[in-house]
Every structure is written in C-alpha cells, then in structure tokens.
Structure 1
Amino acid sequence: MEQTAASATKEPPARAAMTGLERSTLRELLIRGPQTRAAIARELGMSRASLTRVTRTLIEQGLIGDSAVELRSAAGRPGEVLRIRPEGRRFLGVKLTGDRLFAVVTDLTAQALAEYDEPLASQSVEQVVGQIGAVRERLAGEYPDITAAGIGLAGDVASANGRQIVLESPFLGWSDVPLADLVSERLGIPATAENDVHALTAAEHWFGVGAGYDSMVLIAIGAGIGVGIVVDGKVVTGTSGRAGSLEHLLVDPAGPRCEHGHRGCVAAYLPKAAIVGALRTPGLDYAAVLDLARSGDPAARQAFRDAGHALGVLTATVANFMDPEKVVITGDGIAVAELARGELDAAIAMYRRRPNGAPAAPDIQPFDFSEWARAGAVLAIRDFLKF
C-alpha cells in the first residue's frame, strides 16, 4: 500500500446529517456519473434554487466537486458538470465466512483502496467483533478517515425494533446476534450488517452491470446458492431476511437428494459440495473435480452439466416470476457457466417465458472473492446515504 502524507494526517470529516434532497443528489451522481446541474434538477424535480443550496452543502462536505470539463447543452450553452469526489469518504467492508475474515477499504465510489484477509481466530461473537476491530486498526494506519463499516455474512439478517439482528448464520453457529450494534460500538463508527448475497446484489446494482436498472435479479453460486432481488430500485430482503431463498426449487423429482433430504432440488445439483458429491469418490475437493472436468473426465463433466441444467431452471423460474430488466449470475462457483453453458442456455430457453424482444441470456459476471468484502463497503455507503 502506498501511503501519502495527506492520508496519514487527514482527520475524519464530520458527518453532518444530510437532507433527503442531498442524499438523492449524491445517489444520482454515484449511480449515473457526472452530470450538469440542469440534468440533475430535471431528474430529481428540483428547482434551481434548491439545487444550488444542495450542491453548495455537498461541496462544503467534500462529497462532490465541479468538473473542469464542460458539457454543451441542447441550446448550445456550456453546462457546469458536477461529479463525485471519490476521496470524500472512506468505508470499511468486511465479509465473514465460517473460518475467514476478508476486509477492504473503499472510497465513496466503492473502488477498493486496500484489501486484507486472515483466518478467524474463533467463531465466538465477542472474538469476531474484536478481530474486526483489530483489522480496522491495522488499516487505519493508512486510512484513518474511515466513515462507516459494512459486514456481509451468510445467513438471515433482519431489522427488529430499529436494530439489525443476525437471526441465524449456520456457518458461524450464530443466532440472534446484534452484530451491527456490536461492531459499531467496537469501532466507534456507524456499522451495518446484511446477508452477503443481498449485499452483493446492492453492490452490483449501484456500481456494477445493474447500475441504472430499476429491477434486477442476481444469482450467486458457490458453497451455497443465493438469489438477490431488486424491485423499484431497492434490494428486497423480506421480513426475516430470507427473500430469494430458492435453493430447494424442484428440478427433477427423480433426482438425487440434497443435504436436507429434498429430492431433485437445485441444492442437490448446483453447490460446490453437490458437484463434488456427484462423483462419489473419497478425497476429492471442488478444485480437483473442476480440473477433472476441464480435462474431459466424463463423470466430472456430467456433474457440471447437471449443475448447469439446474442453474438454467433456477434462472428461468426467477426471471419468469420477477420479469426483471437484468439477470446477473456470479459467485465463486461460476465455472458452471463455463463448463455447462449449453445446458444452462437450453434450460433457460425451455422454461423462460418471455415476450418478443425481451432479453433471454443472463449476464455472466466473473468473480473475485474480494467482491464479497467490497459488497460490505457498499452496504456502508448505502447506509451513509440512508438508502
């Protein structure tokens, strides 16, 4: 990491409460990029006087700036362009697995500035919170001005009486944990927590291929299967944080059983463990099965073909149900789309009901595990904007 004198000495900016118009203006610039004042006013239905007041405050807060580049309006007049100042705020993103902690520091546009990961010393809530605090302190040497933190983890996270509660996280063995409150108290800054797939959906919606769409579905495949849903520009989480739990959707009533005993569901084919288990060969792990499939092993290839078909059924079903503008498939199990693209596309074509002209193919996005931690930072950014 390259440290500058400014980053080492800069004091954290004061967090003034933003008005709704200020938050809307900042979101507009974050999601849609640099715009003229006139374009922002039109999009948000603001008067010129109101926009002047709003932008003055955001500039004073160091969140936006005037661009040196001017865009010419339809009338031929140059318009002053406003843009986000990425360095205006720093955010900490954290992803927790059952045995590891991944962290990232981002700027206001969710660009990663620093990444770090280490094994979890313990699954104890107290020790995990302490470890998050220690990681923040490690990163604070270069980035002392972290404004807020976001934590993503596998499990059900819901809001109850104004607090975020991890209702259940099987990989960590947690239940009824007020993680956001505990981390906020430990770090001394606002913190938020969310299901990791919902967090990844928020990140892709604001800063990825979903930017600008009002409706989107994200399917994450890997150790598990998660579906994130965006409706009217907002991530749908559900009453108990379980929106998008479609892993037991039926694919084949005569198929194998998943770990919960359901026969022929998506979870019996698509997760990494299901693909490994299909070979019925002791000592293999996912990486080994992946290598076998890429080298042409028939059993491994069939396991991925079955997984690809299941992914296609899931994709078509959720697309039929939600009718979204964009469907994204990603995750650390994305090799399924590489090795079984034919089966994936065939299942979508068979089960997807679409009108003429509607997009049929999902957007397959490459994945790096650090994206989970970056998604945590996006949670913090959205919380900063009270979205």
Structure 2
Amino acid sequence: MQTTSPPQAEGRPPGPSLSGLERSALRELLIHGPKSRAEIARTIGISRTSLTVVMRALIEQGLVTSGAIELRGATGRPSEVLHIRPDGRSFLGVKLTSDRLFAVVTDLKAQALAEFDEPLASRKVEDVVEQIGGAYERLSGEYPGIAAAGIGLAGDVASAGGSQIVLESPFLGWREVPLADLVSERLGVRAAAENDVRALTVAEHWFGIGVGYESMVLITVGTGIGVGIVVDGKVVTGANGRAGSLEHLPVDPSGPRCERGHRGCLASYLSNAAIVGALRTPGLDYASVVDLARSGDPAAKQAFRDAGHALGVLVATLANTVDPQKIIITGDGIAVTELARAELDAAVEAGRHPDSAPITLDIQPFEFDEWARAGAVLAIRDFLGHDQELVFYIDKVMRLVDTWTAPNTSIEESA
C-alpha cells in the first residue's frame, strides 16, 4: 500500500449537501482553475450578489479559499482570486476486474493520496460489495471523512429509476445489479458506478489531457477494446449504457472469426488474445508476442500489422462519426501503436473523409492505477452533481431576490 502524508484537513466531515449553484461554482473552479468572483458569476450566469452567498457557503465548508489579488484582464481593477481547496474532501475510487480489486483515495482534485489492490475473494455480488466495504474501512482509517465513492468495471451500466444498474458484466458474471445502491448502503456514503472506459474518459476530460476540449474520444486497447466519447462537453452513455461498443466493427469480411463468430471484426484482430492467437503457438502470452515482434519475428510482426490496420479503421470511423478535437489511445495493448504505426496511419488516411482536418492522436502510457483513480473522479462528479434544472430554478429565485432588494427596481422589471 502506497500512501502520502495525510492532508491538512484530515478528519473533515463530509459536510452538508451542496445546492445547485454551489455545485456549479465549485465545478467551474475545479475544471477551469482559479478565478475571480466576477469571472465565476459571468461564466455560470448569476449576479454578484448571488455569488457572494454561494462563495461564502463554499468557504465555510472548506471547499474554496481566497488567494492573491491579481489583475485578471487588460483593464479594470485587480481582483481577489478564488481557489479550490484540494484537502476539502476525499473520495474513494474502485476498479473491479475479473479477479482483482484496485482502490484509491484522492483529494478534491483527483490526486491520489493512498492506494492498494488485492485479489477478489469471490465474484458474488454480496462478497464484492463487502470487499469494497473493507477497502473503504481500511483507507478511511487514515483518511476519514470520505465524501463519496465511485466504482468502475467492464460492462454495460445505465441509469434506471434513479439508480445505476450494471446491466451486464461478462467478466464478473453479473446481470441487473444495482451496484451503486448496494455499495452506498454498505459504506454509508453516496456511491456511483460506471463502465470503466467511460469513467476513464471522464477522468481525462476533467483532470487529464482532455481538459478544455468540448469533444474527444478515448480508445482503450488490450484485453478488451473500449471507446469513450465526449460530445459538447458531456460523456455519451446511450439509452442502454452501450455507447461506444465497437469491438465488433467489421474490418475485413474474409478475416478470422472472433469468439462470438463474427468474421474479420475489430476484436478478431486488435484484442490481446487475438494477437496471441494469430501465432497459433501454445504457451505464448501477450508480453511474449510483443517481445517476438520487437526482435523481428515475422509472424508476430504480421499479427501487429493486422492489429494496427484494425485500430486505424476504428480511429477513422470515430473521427468521421464524432469529429473530435482529440483522440486518445491507451490501455495495456498500446504496443500496437509502436509496432504498427505505419499500418495505423495508413488505415486512418484511407478511411477518413477526403476533406477532413488532420486527426490529433495522443498515445498515452498505461498505468493500471489510473482505472481506480477514474472511479474517484466518478465520485467527485457525483458529488458536484449535474442537476442543471435545479440550478436554473435556484438561480431564477436568487435573481428575483436580487431585484426585489435592489433600489429603484420593480417586480415587473425583473420578470
């Protein structure tokens, strides 16, 4: 278990729930960095009077602090700048695989404070929930006051009736599991659950290399093939939690069959298992095939060339469909981008619309603990909330209060 020194605010209680406007102001500072009161009020569309009330509440809860006086524009007077307090809250993130549990505690800026992993004792739902509870108790002993938890796992996750339901997780053998509710009941704090690739997409969009982009795509390659999509600043989930399920995208109708019997689909070329299987040699694993390809083995090099072509078809398809500002590629199978970059680029070029702008590919090293950190980002996102309708009505009331209390302003003028 790796830890850092406990934060200065160790033991801070989770505190009262935030109002819609408080969440909007906090989210603005968290994602876009320090700002003056005038900048925050302008960005989220509320009056300075309303914002004063909001910021007072956030400062009292230890979530925001005042900084230095700065000149924030070419003209005007210097303004006091407000900052997020990273130690204002802590969050639990969990990543579940078919056989392991990875857990992390982060601060409000998703910086890891402590992490550990252990084998899953069982894949039974009740046993996994209990094991998550044990991880929470172990980590909260050093970082008490965890405000919320987030769990990422491979599978289809969708919202239904106000709950997040794991519709299906083949690796764990689950169907129709209200995981977030079960974990929340066990821990005594709010919990969120999400497909692990979408959780990682949220983490990169809010705190990683996707910051500032309104549209982006994240592709993970490895044991499975995952796609996370951001459009207009929002992660796309789909009606049934299956947006981005492109592992069976056709690549070559005369190609090999995948485990589901599809001929020449993406999974039959690009997954780690498909690359290993292409060599038809018992006893090999993915790392061995990577080593063989790097040493010049013809069969291994061809397996990666085929995988690189398949990845290029996927990239071109997503670029044509979403038109993103950035495409990120990561995962434990990203050796394909090293060993078959020429094939990847050629397939992208062949599949792109001829008048399209060049695609920016950002290939990121894979760190498995990032999956658990992504779970903590889910918890942070859930803590900040997305209730924009509530924000609208609270803001409307606050504006009415402002106009009623302002001199020489009638109710009719405020309508």
Give the TM-score normalised by structure 1. 0.96
What does 1:291-310 align with in structure 2 at a 5 Å threshold? 291-310=291-310
Match of 2:392 in 1: none
- Quick check: 1:62–1:85 contact (8 Å CA) kept in 2? yes
For 1:306, the aligned partner's letter is: D
Structure 2 CA distance, aligned partners of 1:53 and 1:4? Answer: 31
What does 1:75-224 align with in structure 2 at a 5 Å threshold? 75-224=75-224
In structure 1, stretches of 5+ residues that fail to align are: none
Match of 2:257 in 1: 257
Match of 1:379 in 2: 378
How many positions carry a matched residue from both structures?
Answer: 384
Match of 1:29 in 2: 29
Residue 73 of structure 1, CA deviation: 2.5
Match of 1:13 in 2: 14
Structure 1 CA distance, aligned partners of 2:141 and 2:52? Answer: 37
- Quick check: 2:91–2:106 contact (8 Å CA) kept in 1? yes
* Residue 67 (1) aligns with residue 67 (2): yes
Structure 1 CA distance, aligned partners of 2:51 and 2:366? Answer: 39
Percent identity, please. Answer: 73
Q: Indicate the SS of the match to 2:276.
A: helix
- Quick check: 1:121–1:128 contact (8 Å CA) kept in 2? yes
Residues 6/109 of structure 1: CA separation in 2 closer, same or farther (3 Å cut): closer
Residue 41 of structure 1, CA deviation: 2.1
Residues 69/106 of structure 1: CA separation in 2 closer, same or farther (3 Å cut): farther
Residues 98-124 of structure 1, C-alpha deviations (whole Å, 9 max, x = no match): 000001111111111111100001111
Residue 189 of structure 1, CA deviation: 0.6
Residue 140 of structure 1, CA deviation: 1.5
Match of 1:363 in 2: 362
Structure 2 CA distance, aligned partners of 1:266 and 1:65? Answer: 49
Which structure would you say has the larger Rg?
2
Structure 2 CA distance, aligned partners of 1:340 and 1:79? Answer: 52
Structure 1 CA distance, aligned partners of 2:115 and 2:291? Answer: 28
- Quick check: 2:69–2:78 contact (8 Å CA) kept in 1? no
Residue 47 of structure 1, CA deviation: 1.6
Residue 354 of structure 1, CA deviation: 6.0
Match of 1:269 in 2: 269
Residue 332 of structure 1, CA deviation: 1.5
CA RMSD of aligned residues (A): 1.5
- Quick check: 2:157–2:164 contact (8 Å CA) kept in 1? yes
The farther-off stretch of 148-157 and 67-76 is: 67-76
Residues 234/337 of structure 1: CA separation in 2 closer, same or farther (3 Å cut): same
Residue 185 of structure 1, CA deviation: 0.8
Structure 1 CA distance, aligned partners of 2:116 and 2:9? Answer: 18
Residues 38-68 of structure 1, C-alpha deviations (whole Å, 9 max, x = no match): 2222222222112212111111111111113
Q: Indicate the SS of the match to 1:73.
A: coil
The farther-off stretch of 280-289 and 205-214 is: 205-214
Residue 7 of structure 1, CA deviation: 5.9
Give the TM-score normalised by structure 2. 0.89
- Quick check: 1:345–1:361 contact (8 Å CA) kept in 2? no
Q: Indicate the SS of the match to 2:270.
A: coil
What does 1:34-73 align with in structure 2 at a 5 Å threshold? 34-68=34-68, 70-73=70-73
For 1:32, the aligned partner's letter is: H
In structure 2, stretches of 5+ residues that fail to align are: 387-415
